[in-house]
Structure 1
Amino acid sequence: MNPDANELNGLSRRRFAALGAGAFAGGLAGCTGTGDGGGSAAGAGDGSTEGEYTVVASFFTFYDFADTLAEGTDVAVENLVPTGLHGHGWEPDPSIQRRITDADAFVHVGPDFQPWADRAIDALAAETQGTRLIDAREGIDLIGLADSLDEDEAVEGAKDPHFWLDPQRAKGAVENIADGLADVDPDHEETIRENATALDAELDALDEEWQAVFDAAERDVAFLAAHNAFAYIAERYDATIEPLVVNLAADGDVRPADMRRAQETIAENDIRHIGAAVFEPIRSAKQLLEQTDVEAYYPVTPYAGTAESWVERGWGYFDIAREVNLPTFRILLGAADPDEVTFADYGRNFEP
């Protein structure tokens, strides 16, 4: 099955229909944002938790993939992380462990990335009920960390965990999740595989769109007032993307040295437009706006979470790529005039 982009995007929107106000209790925060996790998770499946099988996910991107793969099956997929949070440094309450234990499967991002998910997996070993573990990262070829990065933030022995930003590596996660869902609901394996084929085709299309932006680039360097989450984009498209914060965690800790390096990079490359992370503090982006020749900042996100307005629009991974990241990179790379690019929200000099 190879549906067109509109058909596939329709699949990605279905699970948002019945989201309630509780989904938004977390508020906006970064990878290390905090929230009480008190049941304020995003909706599941076709907007309900009804289904013969329940699969829970620890991360928005892989929840979105799993939910699309489950279209037409007896699997309902739930995102455990509240809207507005990445779930990296999130500390959920004990009810989340029970939801994982009660589920038929748990989709996670592999060890050493989400400590709470690692603890939940350890706790499952003491349970009699067999929750299947689906590691979205299994077998993915990861890139190494830059010399400046702290290995404590890495996974699998000094590797960068943000592989899902690369559409081709993301196809490996789709395969891993499809294999896991087929084990959960073997009666619908054919449907799951067909949905996986469609997702792969859409990732190929997105890869081409990213490539077109970098092919049209008139600038050599893009600067992001954000943490170091875009190395896979830089590696895939042979580009230079300079982050404000060189570490991998979006903890809002911007050092004076980071700002000095940012100002030097902006001056040396005559940069007028920069990216700013939607789920991170924008104080530094505003400061660069005041203290350098930067004229405006625009939104970027590593797809690790979703905003309330995106939920209301039914946006998934592909929608966020096309409505947020790709338009911003067109501007940052000089592939489009800023006046010709429109954003549904979080546009020019956005406020959280």
Structure 2
Amino acid sequence: MTRREALRVGGAAALAGAAGCTALPSAPVQSGDDEGGGPVAVASFFSFFDFGRKIADGTPLTVENLVPTGFHGHGWDPNARITQRIIEADAFVHVGEDFQPWADRAIETIEGDDVDTALVNVREGIDLVDLAATLDRDEEGVGEQRGKDPHFWLDPRRARRSVDNIAEGFADIVPEHADAFRDNAETYKTDVLDRIDADYAAMFDRADRDIVQLAAHNAFQYIGVRYGVRMRPLVTNLAASGDVKPADIREAARVIRDNDIRYIANGVFEKQDPAQTLVRETGVEAYFPVTPYAGVREEWVAENWGYEEIAYNINMPTFEIVLGNETPEAAAPSPEWLEQWRNFDSI
């Protein structure tokens, strides 16, 4: 019996007994060529699950997303069944320390009990930018780079390195398919990430406005840094669960007034009350959706949306609107999109 098998029937069960125990929540899964019995990699965050399944395409490796559909990957706190699933897997794809506390705890279990689950850190070797000046003073950033913003994957160029990190991690656990992983990674970087980068650059170059007001948490700085726009978050911390203070509303109202802002962006998986307040109390006419690729809705899963589809169907139309490049009617991919997402309700 391997160490993982022993923990599967022993240690993980003990963990489950110490915490709430419910069924593993629904989440997107990408199967490999083999039906069961093949190697499995589990991912702690939707973006890197999506990268992973594209990298594993055409190989026996199955990639699973641990975050339930409808949940934001940063603020979610799972029960011990997730740790059990990680222990059972051949690899755990994670975002680096101090970003998801539950993932940090799972890694401590793996390392402390000498579990043979391979750890794939997507953040390894990636240069992070400083935390935005708008952050509360008690924000410290992440792990080995204190004072740094962890949301690097919103920058398609930085995301390229995480794709390479995943490909190399998969090559280590399934070396006979190393060439396929690396080839798929190169294709994804060229065909998807480079195209998204070019389309974002063209969009922001067309804009007369260089400021975007977000009724959302502080996750979009990398878009601003890469493309030369000032991202103004309303929730001034790194987690989507942060509270909005009256002073935050007053500052957002000032930015909206001073810059004649008519439309703002709001997080899909975040509270809508602050955005609704700005619509009522300022010159803002409406808010539209953005997401840091941290979670998925049921209909996105049904359509098999990933990082690419979310970029083109959610974030880009909204940025066209809030930058003033297009009217909402012209930017919306369809009339149904406009009906669904103009001043949308919380999921």
1:160 aligns with 2:149: yes
- The 1:293–1:64 alpha-carbon spacing in structure 2 relative to 1, beyond 3 Å, is same
Decide which moves more: 114-123 or 193-202.
193-202
Q: 2:44 aligns with which of 47, 55, 58?
A: 58
Which residue number corresponds to residue 283 of structure 1?
273
Which residue number corresponds to residue 323 of structure 1?
313
Which residue number corresponds to residue 5 of structure 1?
none
Q: Which has the larger radius of gyration?
A: 2
TM superposition score normalised by structure 1: 0.87
Secondary structure, in 3 states, of the residue corresponding to 1:125?
Answer: helix
Counterpart-to-counterpart distance in 1, 2:121 and 2:35: 22
Deviations 1:118-168 (A, max 9, x none): 000001123344000000000100001133424545112110000000000
Counterpart-to-counterpart distance in 1, 2:22 and 2:128: 30
Which residue number corresponds to residue 310 of structure 1?
300
Paired AA for residue 311 in structure 1: V
* Residue correspondence of structure 1 range 185-334 to structure 2 within 5 A: 185-201=174-190, 202-334=192-324
- The 1:250–1:153 alpha-carbon spacing in structure 2 relative to 1, beyond 3 Å, is farther
Deviations 1:47-89 (A, max 9, x none): 8972510100000000000011000111000111101112323
- The 1:235–1:266 alpha-carbon spacing in structure 2 relative to 1, beyond 3 Å, is same
Q: 1:45 aligns with which of 16, 23, 30?
A: 30
8 A contact 1:252–1:281 mirrored in 2? no
Paired AA for residue 210 in structure 1: Y
- Identity of matched residues, %: 51
Paired AA for residue 347 in structure 1: W
- The 1:209–1:144 alpha-carbon spacing in structure 2 relative to 1, beyond 3 Å, is same
| Per-residue deviation, 1:252 | 4.3
| Per-residue deviation, 1:277 | 0.7
8 A contact 2:287–2:342 mirrored in 1? yes
Q: How many residues of Structure 1 are paired with residues of Structure 2 in the alignment?
A: 318
* CA RMSD across the alignment: 1.8
8 A contact 1:223–1:241 mirrored in 2? yes
Uncovered stretches (5+) of structure 2, i.e. residues with no partner = 1-19
1:337 aligns with 2:324: no
Secondary structure, in 3 states, of the residue corresponding to 1:172?
Answer: helix
| Per-residue deviation, 1:245 | 1.5
- The 1:332–1:94 alpha-carbon spacing in structure 2 relative to 1, beyond 3 Å, is same
TM superposition score normalised by structure 2: 0.88
Paired AA for residue 57 in structure 1: A
Counterpart-to-counterpart distance in 1, 2:139 and 2:213: 25
Paired AA for residue 141 in structure 2: A
Secondary structure, in 3 states, of the residue corresponding to 1:55?
Answer: strand
- The 1:37–1:298 alpha-carbon spacing in structure 2 relative to 1, beyond 3 Å, is farther
Paired AA for residue 91 in structure 2: A
The higher relative CO (CA closer than 8 Å, separation ≥ 6) is in 1
Which residue number corresponds to residue 98 of structure 1?
84
Which residue number corresponds to residue 130 of structure 1?
116
